Each structure stands twice: as C-alpha cells, then as structure tokens.
C-alpha cells in the first residue's frame, strides 16, 4: 500500500495492494468518446470503480446512488491544480522484443526500408534469454509512461511477452508469428496453442504475419479456418513498401488485397499495418470489408516507405477503423501515441486536416474497435477501468480556453509526448505519483544498458553494422 502524506491524492480506507472499490473524485476534466462516437470533455467529473470495472461517471454534486459511502480508496483528482482523465491508450502495433535495438543505427546502414529490414535479424537473433526479457520490460514500461494500457505485440515469441506483461500489469494482445526467420519454431500451430491455452486475464492471443510474400496459400487457408472456428485476430504488415508489394505479385500473381480477398481474410478480424502502396479501388475494398488499419506515420517517414492515404480512407468512410501504433524503437524512438497522433496530423497537412478529436479516437475507441475489445477505449459505465491521469497545471496543457475545454484535446496532442502522472489498468494503479508500482525502473534502466552492450558485442563479432 502506498503511504499517505498530507499532499497525497491517495486516501486509503483499507490496507490493500489492489482496492476493490475506488472513487476518483472531482477531476477538473475528463476526456472520452461517448456512445455516439463523439469526443466529450466533461468538467468536474468523478468515476466510481469496483473490481476493475467502471460503474458510474458523474458530475460534481450529482453523486450516483451506486457509489459506496466509504470506498476502499478515494483518489482526489482535484487536488493541487488537478488532473485530466483520459482512457488508457491502445497501441495497435508494437514490437517489444526489439527494445534493445534503440541506437542500433540501422538507418545509417540502409537507405530505405528493405535495406534496413535486412539488417534487423542480425540483431534480433542475439536478443535472447535474459536480454529478451529485459527488452520487453523496457518497451512495456516506456509505453505505460505514455499512457498506453493495451499493447498489440507482433512477434515470434509469446511466453516471454506474457510474463513481462504480467510483471508490468499491462493488457496484452499477443499475436504470434505463423512464419518467422528469427524463430523457426514459431508456426501457426504454436500461435493457436498459445491462443487456446489458459492465460492471465489481461492476455489474449492472435496470429501475426510479417509479410504475405513469405507465406504459402495453404497457410492462408488454415488461418481463415482458425478465424472461423476461434474468432482469432490476424495482424499483417501490409503494402509497407513498393518492393514488398511487388514480391507478392511475383509469387502469387496478384496484389496483397486480392490475395487476402481470395482466401476470405479481408474481414473484421484482420488488422493491416502501414497500408501504403494501395490503389483507390483497393482502399474502397478494404474499407467495405471493415478490416482494421494501423497507421504508423513516424515509421513510414523514417524508413522512407511512403505516405498513408488517410484522406481517401476517410472519404470512403474508413476513419472509425483507423488506429495508431508505435511500431518498434528502430522506427520510432519514443514509444508513445501522443507524438504519433501529432505526426499523423502533420503528415497530411496542408492538403488535409485530421482533426484532434479524430486523432484522440485513433488512440482510444478506434483501437478498441479494431481489436474487438468492446469494454476498452472509453471512460463510461460498463467499461474496464483503464485510465491515464495527466497533470493539468503543466506546460502544454495551460493555457487553454476555459470556455471551450475541448481545446485541451489539441493541447495534449500538439505539445508532444508527456508522461502520465498516474496510470490505472483494470482498476489497479500501475503508476502512482510518476513512480511505477510494480517495476524498479532505475534498476531496469541499468539492466537495459548492460544487456544492450552485451548484444552489441555479439553483433560486432559477426562484423555487422554497429557503432
């Protein structure tokens, strides 16, 4: 239990590591989409939680009858300038196993995406054992600092990711590679075994395909059967470069969109990341199929991969199915979605403006929608208590138009990446007063540096690019 002092926002009524009933009272502002998919900013809001579920959200002076007189914990969100509440953000595409590759300088040895990707396995094959565990912990804790509470992992390992998610308290959707050049043992069978196995309540499984040109048609048939039988998610790097698109045509005789269409994999259980080299007709097909789209503008720009055609997707009605992801530290050094949202806005200017409300939904309800997680992405009764707490009296938030508090949405996105003051996942405070409650981050950072240098030394022995 966190000790109290006269400046603490935390007021415990019972001694418990995870209080069952929590009242977050008098937050100056709460930002969340509503049931009509519109982003509201509610003033003087309180949130009541029991057993990880939000039971009531109400304004000051309008206490809900369901709220206990003496909840286990009262969090005073109005103290000392107050905090702004948002839903925990949903990271729809990440590679936590690659965290130790920060500063690998792969971009200095490859002038475009295909050259960069060719170097990655030379690093990845050395990130094993304790280095792998350290890498994943580093990634997930950094994401949490940015208010991310749900992560979609796209990689060839699952037990290590699941263990790190449990240690950090993170909600994880662990999509396991059905084909992998870094882990030959990874297959559709291992992905399905993980998906069907008993796991912690905050972990789910899925299938990942790195590139379609690396698979065979029998595998696509089997994945479709698995979607039909188990309702399993499939995530794919899709049309990420012109070279990748051409590889698919050379192998299968058709473009990637047509290939997925042929095997019934253009559906609401499929997530496509990047989606750069597609025609307007293909965009219309993707939107009509309601596939999930993960926009990764920083990665696309850094790797010179191309520009995602957000305006055309929006024109066809696809905006509600576009979410955001961080990708890996090789593609985006800061693992947060606020800077990714701002990068999205900047990418499409001046010809097209993606409004701040749309960007906010891409980090929250849109991510929940494409992941088939109906209780995530909003702060509302019946939703999981995944909440990020942001200091209001802070650079970037102030000044704002008090007569139009929706200006706070633009402020939180446009000011750049910031760290959450507190973070709740499933009704549990993972971060309190900017300190992680589950991980000693000071020790972790030392482990990260040590592991990075050990991996770098092993890479050096193979005479590959290093600093």
CA dihedral (113, 114, 115, 119) positive or negative:
positive
Region 123-127 average pLDDT = 87
The pLDDT score that the predictor gives to residue 95 is 95
Residue 466 has pLDDT above 60, yes or no: no
| Position 203 confidence tier, pLDDT thresholds 50, 70, 90 | very high
What are the tens digits of pLDDT across the range 108-120?
Answer: 555 566 666 666 7
Residue found by looking up tokens 């502002």 in the block: 29
Residue found by looking up tokens 């992941």 in the block: 371
User: Nearest to residue 116, comparing CAs of 376, 272, 304, 369?
Assistant: 304
The pLDDT score that the predictor gives to residue 465 is 47
Q: How far apart (Å, rounded) are the C-alpha atoms in residues 48 and 62?
A: 13
> Residue 99 in contact with residue 127, Cβ under 8 Å?
no
Region 258-279 average pLDDT = 98
The pLDDT score that the predictor gives to residue 3 is 46
Residue 304 has pLDDT above 90, yes or no: no
Region 255-284 average pLDDT = 98
Question: Residue 6's Cα: distance from chain center in Å?
Answer: 35
Region 434-458 average pLDDT = 96
Mean pLDDT for the chain overall = 92
Q: How far apart (Å, rounded) are the C-alpha atoms in residues 24 and 27?
A: 7
Counting every residue, how long is the chain? 467
Task: For the chain, give every domain's residue range.
Answer: 10-87+377-436, 89-370
Q: Which helix (H) or strand (E) holds 333?
A: none
Residue found by looking up tokens 């709460």 in the block: 30
The pLDDT score that the predictor gives to residue 467 is 45
What are the tens digits of pLDDT across the range 220-246?
Answer: 999 999 999 999 999 999 999 999 999
Residue 280 has pLDDT above 90, yes or no: yes
Least confident among 11-25, 41-55, 124-138, 140-154: 11-25
Q: In percent, how much of the chain has pLDDT > 90?
A: 77
Region 255-274 average pLDDT = 98
| Position 181 confidence tier, pLDDT thresholds 50, 70, 90 | low
What are the tens digits of pLDDT across the range 416-436?
Answer: 768 999 999 999 999 999 999
Domains 10-87+377-436 and 89-370 share a fold: no
User: Nearest to residue 313, comparing CAs of 299, 304, 323?
Assistant: 323
The pLDDT score that the predictor gives to residue 185 is 76
Q: What count of Cα atoms within 13 Å lies in the side-chain half-sphere of residue 248?
A: 21
Least confident among 98-107, 116-125, 211-220: 116-125
Region 426-451 average pLDDT = 97
The pLDDT score that the predictor gives to residue 21 is 95
Does residue 31 sit in helix, strand or coil? strand
Residue 13 has pLDDT above 90, yes or no: no
How do strand 387-391 and strand 322-324 relate by DSSP bridges? unpaired
89-370 carries CATH number 3.90.1010.10: no
What are the tens digits of pLDDT across the range 19-38?
Answer: 999 999 999 999 999 999 99
The CATH number that domain 10-87+377-436 falls under is 2.30.40.10
Cα torsion through 249, 255, 259, 260, rounded to 10: 140
User: Nearest to residue 153, comparing CAs of 376, 407, 374, 327?
Assistant: 327
Return the higher-pLDDT residue of 87 and 299. 87
Question: What does the DSSP 8-state code read for residue 462?
Answer: T
Does residue 273 sit in helix, strand or coil? strand
Name the pTM for this structure. 0.94
Return the higher-pLDDT residue of 379 and 458. 379
Q: In percent, how much of the chain has pLDDT > 70?
A: 93
């Amino acid at each position: 239990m966190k000790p109290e002092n006269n400046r603490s926002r935390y007021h415990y009524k019972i001694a418990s590591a995870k209080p069952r009933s929590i009242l977050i009272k008098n937050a100056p502002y709460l930002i969340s989409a509503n049931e009509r998919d519109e982003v509201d900013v509610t003033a003087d809001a309180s949130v009541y939680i029991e057993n990880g579920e939000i039971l009531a959200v109400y304004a000051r002076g309008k206490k809900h009858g369901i709220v206990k007189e003496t909840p286990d914990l009262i969090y005073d969100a109005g103290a000392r300038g107050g905090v702004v509440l948002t839903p925990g953000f949903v990271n729809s595409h990440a590679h936590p196993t690659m965290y130790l590759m920060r500063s690998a300088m792969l971009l200095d040895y490859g002038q475009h995406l295909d050259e960069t990707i060719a170097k990655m396995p030379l690093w990845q094959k050395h990130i094993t054992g304790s280095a792998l565990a350290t890498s994943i912990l580093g990634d997930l804790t950094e994401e949490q600092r940015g208010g991310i509470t749900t992560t979609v992992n796209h990689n060839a390992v699952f037990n290590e990711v699941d263990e790190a998610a449990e240690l950090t308290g993170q909600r994880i959707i662990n999509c396991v590679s059905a084909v992998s050049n870094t882990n030959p043992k990874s297959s559709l069978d291992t992905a399905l075994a993980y998906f069907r196995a008993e796991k912690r309540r905050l972990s789910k499984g899925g299938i990942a395909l790195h590139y379609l040109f690396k698979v065979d048609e029998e595998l696509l048939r089997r994945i479709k059967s698995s979607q039909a039988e188990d309702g399993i998610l499939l995530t794919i790097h899709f049309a990420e470069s012109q070279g990748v698109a051409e590889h698919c045509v050379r192998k299968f005789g058709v473009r990637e969109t047509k290939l997925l269409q042929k095997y019934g994999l253009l559906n609401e259980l499929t997530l496509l990341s990047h989606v750069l080299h597609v025609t307007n007709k293909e965009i219309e097909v993707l939107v009509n199929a309601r596939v999930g789209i993960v926009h990764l503008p920083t990665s696309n720009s850094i790797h010179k991969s191309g520009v995602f055609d957000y305006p055309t997707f929006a024109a066809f009605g696809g905006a509600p199915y576009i979410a955001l992801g961080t990708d890996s530290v090789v593609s985006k050094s800061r693992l947060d979605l606020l800077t990714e949202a701002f990068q999205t806005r900047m990418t499409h200017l001046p010809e097209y403006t993606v409004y701040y409300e749309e960007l906010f939904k891409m980090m929250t309800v849109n991510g929940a929608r494409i992941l088939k997680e109906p209780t995530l992405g909003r702060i509302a009764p019946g939703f999981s208590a995944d909440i990020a707490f942001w200091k209001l009296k802070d650079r970037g938030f102030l000044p704002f138009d008090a007569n139009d508090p929706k200006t706070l949405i633009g402020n939180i996105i446009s000011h750049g990446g910031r760290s959450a003051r507190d973070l709740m996942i499933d009704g549990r405070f993972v971060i309190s007063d900017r300190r992680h409650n589950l991980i000693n981050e000071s020790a972790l950072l030392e482990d990260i540096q040590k592991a990075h240098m050990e991996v770098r030394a092993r890479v050096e022995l193979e005479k590959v690019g290093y600093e």
